[in-house]
Each structure stands twice: as C-alpha cells, then as structure tokens.
Chain A
Amino acid sequence: MANALSIQNLTKTYANGFQALKGISLEVEEGDFYALLGPNGAGKSTTIGIICSLVTKSAGKVHIFGKDIDRDFSGAKRMIGLVPQEFNFNVFEPVEEILVNQAGYFGIDRHTAFTRAEQYLKQLGLWDKRREQARDLSGGMKRRLMIARALVHRPRLLILDEPTAGVDIEIRRSMWRFLTELNQSGTTIILTTHYLEEAENLCRTIGIIDKGELIENTTMKRLLGELQTETFVLDLKAPISAAPRLSQDDCLRLVDETTLEAEITRDCSINFLFDELTSHGIEVLSMRNKTNRLEQLFVNIVEENEQAGMAR
C-alpha cells in the first residue's frame, strides 16, 4: 500500500538564490498523525506549498497516495486538504458560500456541497454564522472555517500549517479533539505548529526541518525516549535559604526562597528526590515540568544542528 505522502530529494531555490529546501526526503504512512516541526524559516511552509501546488519546486518528486503531483495533478490534489497559515478566503463572502465554492472547484454538485457544508460547519461550531460575511468572524472562527473548507471535498490527507496560531486555549483544545477524531476515522494528518505541547499530545510521528534539511524523522515515542534529563519546578511550603545537597546527585538549584528547580536524570527516580527533601524537612506544595519535554528535545536538536553547521 502506498504511503499517504512520499517526498524524494525535494529542493527549492527561490529566484533570489535562497535555497529553502536542500533535498528533503520523507514518508508519511496512511493514518499517521505527523508533526512537521522546525524554527521559523526552516522550510516547513515551502514544503507544504510544494505538496499543495502553491510553490513551484526546483527538483524532486512528490507522491500523494502513490499519485505523482506532476503526472496525475488532478488525482493527487483530490486527496489533499490544506489549512494554510494565513487566512486566504474572500472575507466579503458568506461563510457557507466559501465552503460551497471550494466544493465546486473539486467538481462537487451544489446539493452535496450544501449538505457537507452544513455537516462541517455544525461540527466546528460555525453553523449559526453561515450567513455572515467571513470578515465578521473572530480569529478562532476564521481558523475553524479554514478547517471546514479543507474538509469539504473529503480529503484523505489533511495538512494543517499552524492551525491554532493565535487561538485561545479553549478553542485550541476543541480543535485538538476534532482533529483526533478525524485522524481516528482514517484521515492522515500532517501538522506544523510552534506549540510543541500540541505536537506531543496529538502526533505519533515527528519530522524536524532546519535550514532546508530534515534533521530528525522518527516516532514521537522514540524521540521522547532520547530525553536524558527533565527539569521540574517545585513550589515549597516554607521559605529556605539554600538548596539542600542530596546524597547521590547534586541536582537542585534555588530559584527563589520558595522555588526549587530539580534536574532529574532518566535513571533517577522522583521518589528518591522526595525522600531526600522530606529528610531535610522541606515540604513541596506543587510540581511541574519547567519546559515541555518535546520543547526541550527540539531546542537540543536544533542547537546541535546549528553547531554541526558551524563546524562544517
């Protein structure tokens, strides 16, 4: 069975000579929830643009469910739905019309288009707004409108380029639930995001692009397994003047008189930490991760790539 997405040696050099992609190859399996991460300007949006025919590639091959985007242009495009980073609908058109027109471009008759528009607008909480011009929607509603529009032709591969940027946490969580259900129903999803917590919660596979190269491509589980240390922030009940010294490992740092930071290695149990703190008479009120685990790894990987680049 063909993969949902197959990219081989994809390169893109813009007219000004800037090389945005330097021969990227990656595979996304059918049914996967794939996170495509990278710093700003790394080449994520260029890659997505090429997959969706918004950017002309310089070289390389792209297949969608085995269909070559150069040879079977129509067949490949039918299987992709794109939620772009920037709002790109006509803000003067009513919400429902935007969906019906998009369906029309895929050759879907108006009756079916209206039925599907109703389904997705209801699912995404926009049905009450169907007659309103898109410019009157809030930022979160506009993002959901773009998701509904991308789904109206029932694509097998949905690509979301930072779909939750600027969206409040409540709407973001409702979008996560919607995307998880969509993925469980069989739609392959590729997601780019700067919220690494989002990628960690939703995605099973991860690719990291930096400076036009794919520097990591693995499962989320395996990647998180590479994390050697985690830093926890401990809120203390009573103030202390100095961080206590532990018997096995000196891993504590006093941030302020009621806050300690503990760097715990993979082979060290948290029980040990609490036993030691209790023995020093320190009571902990709450504990949280200093940074998201994926965020910590992401920063490490990108920094390593940066140093390797300087060494070259």
Chain B
Amino acid sequence: MTFGEQYIAFKTIVIKEVLRFARIWVQTVVPPVITISLYFVIFGNLIGSQIGDMGGFRYMDYIVPGLIMMAVITNSYANVVSSFYGTKFHHHIEEMLVSPLPYYLIVLGFVAGGIARGLTVGIAVTGVSMFFTDLSFYNPLVIVSTVILTSALFALAGLLNGIFAKSFDDISIIPTFVLTPLTYLGGVFYSINMLPEFWQNVSRANPILYMVNTFRYGFLGISDLSLGLSYTIIIGFIVTLYSCTIYLLRTGYGIRR
C-alpha cells in the first residue's frame, strides 16, 4: 500500500473506533466521569479536608492529577480490549484480515481509538475537577506528553489482552485483578514518601506510579521520582507491548485459525 492509502486505512479504523464509543457515550464516557466526581466529593472534599496538606498542597489539589490519570488509564484500556475482543468474537476482524492492511496499521488504529477515548474522558474529568479546585498547569508539555504516552501504553495493553482473550471473562480479569490494584497503589491518593522504605521500594516496581507522578508534576511541579526515569519506563513499556502485539498478529495468534 502507498503512504496515502495507508493514511486512508488508518483514518478509517480511527473513525470507526471513535464512532463506536461515541455512539454509546452513556456507557463509555458518562460512568467514569460520575465515578471520578464521587472521588472528588468523598476523598477530596469530605475526607481530604480532615487530612490537611500533602506535598505542600491541599489534599484535593494533590489527588486531582492522579484521579484524571486513573480515568485515562482505565478507559484507554477498556476501549481497546472490549472493541478488539468484540471484533474478534463477532468475526468483523475478518474485514481487516482480507484487506491489504499491514498489521502495524491495525495496531495503531486501535491504539489511536483507545487514546481518543482516554483523552475524551480525561478532558471531561478535568472539566469536572474545576468545580472542586483551581487547577494549575505547571508544565503543559509534560501533562500532554504523559497523558498521550500513558494512554497509548494502556491501549496497547488492552489490545494484548484482547488478542489473548478467549471469552468475555478474560477481558475483565486483568482490569479487575491487575489494573485496579496497581492504580490504587500507584500513588494516586498518597505520596510514596509516606511509606516505610521497604514499601517505597516495592512501589517503585509499579509502572503506574511513574505515570501518576509525572502527570502530577505537570500540574503541581512536584514528583516523588525522576522525570527522565519515568519517561524511559513509559516508552520502554510502549515499545515492548507494541512489539508483542505485532508479533502475535503476524503469527495469527488469536485472530486466524
């Protein structure tokens, strides 16, 4: 395929993916916004007012970036895993497989769809957060780059889950038993400096910690970890997951008989 044809094919997948979650916005965009709003009210306002400052900021200000990131992570992941598995389950994947689409375009198209939903929900949650706090934007470049890279990373992880999934149960196991615990333990609600040294070291094995801290740095200018290390880890994960998905699609795993 020529570059122009590849661009058209990529755009087709992205439009299809965006329309998919936009058509069912009551199921895909509204629930996370409501859930995160409850976090703002309960943890930020009610409990947060009793906690006091954290890292030199009001507790509400401290948790807002982490909560936005939590919404972005879960939605980027959920979008791709459910869309790709649904495509496989109902055999629409065959529409792509019989076409000359290279595998990397299939991956990029689904990932772009995941990023689109992650950002849509992220922006909506950010808008709601402004009712609870005066958001500051310390470094917009860090905010934008972190949210896009993190969204891409979890969209890829969702795609990998979708490739391996053989039933609808398989697409809920990872979000429930892996993603949610890692997000809650990823420094959304607290600074790892509050933890004993042993648990600080354990927390450093959690990749979500780096994303949340870098994102928080973009808003507040504070981070428990080095930005360079965080970007390296995020990009490292993206490259690894991308390579795995391409390899699996090329071998036909989960998509061809």
Q: Chain A interface (Cβ within 8 Å of chain B)?
A: 14, 49, 52-56, 73-75, 77-78, 80, 82, 84, 86, 88-92, 100-102, 104-110, 149, 153
List 14 A–B pairs whose Cβ atoms lie within 8 Å, in order of A's numbering.
A14-B257, A53-B97, A53-B256, A55-B257, A56-B252, A82-B98, A84-B94, A89-B92, A101-B95, A102-B95, A105-B95, A105-B99, A107-B8, A149-B95
A14 to B101, CA, bound (A): 25
Give the Cβ gap from A12 to chain B, nearest Cβ, in Å. 9
A153 to B100, CA, bound (A): 11
A111 to B243, CA, bound (A): 34
A55 to B255, CA, bound (A): 9
A110 to B9, CA, bound (A): 10
Q: Chain B interface (Cβ within 8 Å of chain A)?
A: 1-2, 4-6, 8-9, 11-13, 16, 23, 87, 90-92, 94-102, 252, 256-257
Instruction: Report chain A residues within 8 Å CB of B87.
Output: 90
Instruction: Report chain B residues within 8 Å CB of A106.
Output: 5, 9, 99-100
Instruction: Report chain A residues within 8 Å CB of B23.
Output: 92
Contact B100 A55 (CB under 8 A): no
**Which one of B2, B97, B98 contacts A107 once the chains associate, using CB atoms below 8 Å?**
B2
Contact B12 A49 (CB under 8 A): no
A65 to B239, CA, bound (A): 38
Instruction: Report chain A residues within 8 Å CB of B94.
Output: 54, 82, 84, 88
Contact B16 A101 (CB under 8 A): yes
A14 to B256, CA, bound (A): 12
Instruction: Assess A55 versus B8: contact at CB under 8 Å? Given A80-B98, A101-B16, A105-B95.
Output: no
Contact B256 A107 (CB under 8 A): no
Please give me the 10 A-B residue pairs with the lowest Cβ-Cβ distance, nearest first: A107-B5, A104-B12, A105-B99, A74-B100, A88-B91, A77-B100, A55-B257, A56-B252, A88-B94, A52-B98
Contact A105 B101 (CB under 8 A): yes
A100 to B1, CA, bound (A): 18
A284 to B165, CA, bound (A): 65
A108 to B98, CA, bound (A): 15
Instruction: Assess A77 versus B98: contact at CB under 8 Å? Given A56-B256, A56-B257, A107-B2.
Output: yes
Give the Cβ gap from B163 to chain A, nearest Cβ, in Å. 15
Give the Cβ gap from A19 to chain B, nearest Cβ, in Å. 14
**Which one of B8, B13, B257 contacts A54 once the chains associate, using CB atoms below 8 Å?**
B257
A136 to B160, CA, bound (A): 33
Give the Cβ gap from B95 to chain A, nearest Cβ, in Å. 6
Interface centre among A49, A54, A77, A105 (most CB of B within 10 A): A105
A89 to B256, CA, bound (A): 16
Give the Cβ gap from A147 to chain B, nearest Cβ, in Å. 14
Closest chain B residue, CB of each to CB of A102: B95
Instruction: Assess A104 versus B256: contact at CB under 8 Å? Given A53-B97, A74-B1, A77-B100.
Output: no
Instruction: Report chain B residues within 8 Å CB of A88.
Output: 90-92, 94-95
A32 to B8, CA, bound (A): 33
Contact A54 B256 (CB under 8 A): yes
Closest chain B residue, CB of each to CB of A104: B12
Instruction: Report chain B residues within 8 Å CB of A86.
Output: 91
Closest chain B residue, CB of each to CB of A91: B90
Contact A49 B257 (CB under 8 A): yes
Closest chain A residue, CB of each to CB of B23: A92
Instruction: Report chain A residues within 8 Å CB of B252.
Output: 56
A84 to B91, CA, bound (A): 11
**Which one of B2, B4, B99 contacts A102 once the chains associate, using CB atoms below 8 Å?**
B99
**Which one of A53, A100, A105 contacts B9 once the chains associate, using CB atoms below 8 Å?**
A105
Give the Cβ gap from A282 to chain B, nearest Cβ, in Å. 57
Give the Cβ gap from B11 to chain A, nearest Cβ, in Å. 7
Instruction: Report chain B residues within 8 Å CB of A107.
Output: 1-2, 4-6, 8-9, 100
Closest chain A residue, CB of each to CB of B5: A107
Q: A74-B102, A88-B91 are in contact. List 14 more A-B contacts (CB 8 A).
A: A54-B97, A54-B256, A56-B257, A74-B100, A75-B100, A84-B94, A88-B95, A90-B92, A101-B12, A106-B99, A107-B2, A107-B4, A107-B5, A109-B8
Instruction: Report chain A residues within 8 Å CB of B99.
Output: 77, 102, 105-106, 153
Contact A104 B9 (CB under 8 A): yes
Instruction: Assess A104 versus B1: contact at CB under 8 Å? Given A80-B98, A88-B91.
Output: no
A149 to B98, CA, bound (A): 12
